[in-house]
Structure 1
Amino acid sequence: MSSDDTVLAEYPYLWSSSSQLPLEEFLTKYKPSMVQDDGTKPWIWVEKSTSEAQGLNMVTAVEEATALLKDVTVRIEEIKNDESIPLRANKKKGTKSKKEVREAVQSEATEKLKDISIRNEFVSGKWLIFAPNDKVDLVWSTIATSLISGPLASTSARLAKVATCPKHEVSNYSHVLCLYVPNVYDKEDVTKIMKILLRNHGMNLMGVKSNLYTAIGLDSKHPSGIPSTVWKNSALMPETEIKRMKEEYFTELNTTKANQADKVAAEKATTGTETKTKPKLRKKAEDDDPFASDDDESKDANEVAKEKSKAHSSSTSKKSTTKAVKGSPKDDFASDDDTGEDSDEQARKAQVAAKKATSKGKPATGGQSKRSKEDDDEEEVEDRPKRKQMRK
């Protein structure tokens, strides 16, 4: 078997049932997006069971397959350069195009490789899965966990690996994941695993590849043009069925996430642990200046005493003024009606003269002074006709 498909017992990036770390801790510690290959750690492995014994004729199988691959590569190059083979087929003449001739040789080589594998009991292989760097950790954790304790644990799959990061940065790098199966030519078995990968994990599958193909260096870029996988997805299941199973997985996943979110919200509401806005801290009252001196304090005390003394003096002055205003005599002439007898003219004149003298001696305020003046004027007006009558 190729070194890429061989697990070393003392390899530090291998988890098995005999490992000291639990699988969950192993997957957390060794993430493919964080481990960089320096030439000694190209893969991270998870093993469900020990590797099964390979056929005793594995070496023979590799030798035969290598020779076949070499012959096919030469034949494909000859077809390419043979001018007698037209680029387009001609049904009337019964000639085939270069493409048709090339595909016939490649198909025949595929059958011969299958025969070599079965005859030498070298039939193991793997499902191929690719994941971008930003999703590889989740994809790898899903596959590894399923293999040990999930849906894949009940299948014939026994081993999984994922590529670490390349030594030198590569743009848009995709990690390859391999899920190993005992017999790639057992169509029923590989289809069963395929359904789990699609329906239970929603994986993007790239086909099933034989370990013999890996051992002889047959990949998608090989000049022979032989298909690098034993099974393509469409050869095992219709495309419509593949699409339906993946859609069911993602629909179920979204529903589960929504239910979990609702459950968490309900638990928070029940236990009263919903996040609340923290109350803002109130600012404490400013403390006295710790650096103030005793002299400053005494000055402040004296100033306060002076202010209190001024306030007391002002209050006393206001009170005395108020008392003085309240104690002033009331104007007795502000509202009295001046009446007298018309027959006694002399008495009336004396009364008017007395009132005038009194009003001149005491200042009257506001409406009282004005009213007294009006009364005097009225009396003078009343006196004038009487004087005229007396003169007559």
Structure 2
Amino acid sequence: MQSLDSFLSDESSFYGDEEQVSEMEDRAAEFDPMHYWRTSHATNLAVIAASQQAATENGTQHTDGAEIIETKSTCRHPHDGHADCYQRTESVASFLNRLPPSTTKASDLGPWIYIANRNFQSLVVPRVRRLVEEGRKLLEEFEEELSEIQEDNKDKSSSAAKSAVTRKINKKRRKLEADLLQVARDTGVITGKWMLFPSEDKLDEIWAAVAGATAKGALGVGAKVATKPDDEVLSRPRLICVYTKDFQDKEDIRRVLLKLVDLGLVSKGRGSSARSIYYKCDAYTHLDIKGGNPWGLKPSMYSSSDILASK
């Protein structure tokens, strides 16, 4: 009898096509075994049944399966057991006392303090590595196109010629923006955040308002605040991110903004005294698209003034 190997060539699709292989590699790279043991494994009915049988054989008290599921499911949030995160076993007040952002140093904890809306569970698994790979490729292609356009038109100095070049570049830039957001959707990297920059003297107060509303499920899906840099000499504004579930869901983005207004953290007025805040999709953060970037991309998707002005 011929061995199985004789039927498989190097070009065989036994392992799947290139796209399938790439997707599986991404999933393997992003797999968190500790998260699996805290979530899927803990609530697997076969595991629960085996635990019950073992308890019976060892003479320990029998526990009802529903009680086991309820107990296990309370420990399945990715933030559980992490010192830089709000824990379900503590009150929000205790969390804020434990980790005041104004004095908590990055060297002691890390760069961020996190709190999650534990009522929210995403059904989308983000593939960040794939996003970065495909996104960088698009950015590099745009750079090449930009160089070609500039090279082809370097000797044209008339205003009409310059306007034509600008229109051509802007058209390609709009396509780049659309392509990047499509890659974000395709890879499941769809979260985004409103960004607040409070001064250090107001940081704890503003973070307390954000944290309290987030824990109650009245704001977004989560929030984080930057810890105190070790090399900070002069106090500078600190970043607070208020996350929403989907940068495509403009109604939810607006809802979260209106809640920030209700909390007194964002001005609803206009004029020089009213300071806008901005919303940025996480895909742009992963691709390191900031202000003054070489591609001429606008780093934020929305401003609070634009959202509040729209009906």
TM-score normalised by the shorter chain: which range applies?
0.5 to 0.7
Q: 2:98 aligns with which of 29, 32, 40?
A: 29
1:65 paired with 2:132, answer: no
Identical-pair percentage: 20
1:57 deviation in Å? 4.8
Q: Which has the higher contact order (CA 8 A, sep 6+)?
A: 2
* Contact 2:209/2:263, CA 8 A, preserved across alignment: no
Q: For the residues of structure 2 that align with 1:84 and 1:210, how far apart are their CA atoms?
A: 35
Q: Which residue of 2 aligns with 1:206?
A: 277
* Contact 1:126/1:181, CA 8 A, preserved across alignment: yes
Q: Which residue of 2 aligns with 1:189?
A: 252
Runs (4 or more) in structure 1 with deviation over 6 Å come to none
Residue 172 to residue 87, structure 1, CA distance change in 2 (3 Å): farther
What secondary structure, in the 3-state scheme, does the structure 1 residue paired with 2:283 have? helix
Q: For the residues of structure 2 that align with 1:225 and 1:214, how far apart are their CA atoms?
A: 15
* Contact 2:206/2:265, CA 8 A, preserved across alignment: no
Residue 111 to residue 87, structure 1, CA distance change in 2 (3 Å): farther
Q: 1:160 aligns with which of 223, 243, 248?
A: 223
Q: 2:122 aligns with which of 52, 60, 81?
A: 52
Q: Which residue of 1 aligns with 2:33?
A: none
Question: What do residues 147-205 of structure 1 show as CA deviations (whole Å, max 9, x unaligned)?
Answer: 223xxx235x1211000111211545221111111101111111111112123323255
1:114 deviation in Å? 1.5
> What amino acid is aligned across from residue 136 of structure 1 in structure 2?
L
Q: For the residues of structure 2 that align with 1:131 and 1:184, how far apart are their CA atoms?
A: 23
What secondary structure, in the 3-state scheme, does the structure 2 residue paired with 1:126 have? strand
What secondary structure, in the 3-state scheme, does the structure 2 residue paired with 1:188 have? helix
Q: For the residues of structure 1 that align with 2:188 and 2:105, how far apart are their CA atoms?
A: 35
TM-score (norm 2): 0.63
1:113 paired with 2:184, answer: no
Q: For the residues of structure 1 that align with 2:210 and 2:294, how far apart are their CA atoms?
A: 33
> What amino acid is aligned across from residue 37 of structure 1 in structure 2?
A
Question: What do residues 321-363 of structure 1 show as CA deviations (whole Å, max 9, x unaligned)?
Answer: xxxxxxxxxxxxxxxxxxxxxxxxxxxxxxxxxxxxxxxxxxx
* Contact 2:79/2:86, CA 8 A, preserved across alignment: no
Where in structure 2 are the equivalents of 1:1-392 lying within 5 Å?
Answer: 9-16=80-87, 18-19=88-89, 21-38=90-107, 40-49=109-118, 52-55=122-125, 57-76=127-146, 83-84=153-154, 89-90=159-160, 96=163, 99-149=166-216, 153-155=217-219, 157-171=220-234, 173-203=236-266, 205-238=276-309
1:47 deviation in Å? 1.4
Report how many residues are paired: 227
Q: For the residues of structure 1 that align with 2:86 and 2:149, how far apart are their CA atoms?
A: 48
Q: For the residues of structure 2 that align with 1:136 and 1:48, how far apart are their CA atoms?
A: 20
1:98 deviation in Å? 5.5
What secondary structure, in the 3-state scheme, does the structure 2 residue paired with 1:121 have? coil
Q: Identify which range, 110-119 or 203-212, moves more after superposition.
A: 203-212
Q: For the residues of structure 2 that align with 1:36 and 1:211, how far apart are their CA atoms?
A: 25
1:206 deviation in Å? 2.6
- Which has more radius of gyration? 1
**Which runs of 5 or more residues in structure 1 are unaligned?**
2-6, 242-392
What secondary structure, in the 3-state scheme, does the structure 2 residue paired with 1:14 have? coil
Q: For the residues of structure 1 that align with 2:92 and 2:224, how far apart are their CA atoms?
A: 14
What secondary structure, in the 3-state scheme, does the structure 2 residue paired with 1:189 have? helix
* Contact 1:132/1:173, CA 8 A, preserved across alignment: yes
Residue 128 to residue 98, structure 1, CA distance change in 2 (3 Å): farther
Q: For the residues of structure 1 that align with 2:252 and 2:155, how far apart are their CA atoms?
A: 41
What secondary structure, in the 3-state scheme, does the structure 2 residue paired with 1:178 have? strand
Q: For the residues of structure 2 that align with 1:120 and 1:227, how far apart are their CA atoms?
A: 21
1:233 deviation in Å? 2.9
**Which runs of 5 or more residues in structure 2 are unaligned?**
1-29, 31-77, 267-274
> What amino acid is aligned across from residue 31 of structure 1 in structure 2?
P
What secondary structure, in the 3-state scheme, does the structure 1 residue paired with 2:163 have? coil
> What amino acid is aligned across from residue 124 of structure 2 in structure 1?
Q
1:134 deviation in Å? 1.6
* Contact 1:87/1:98, CA 8 A, preserved across alignment: no
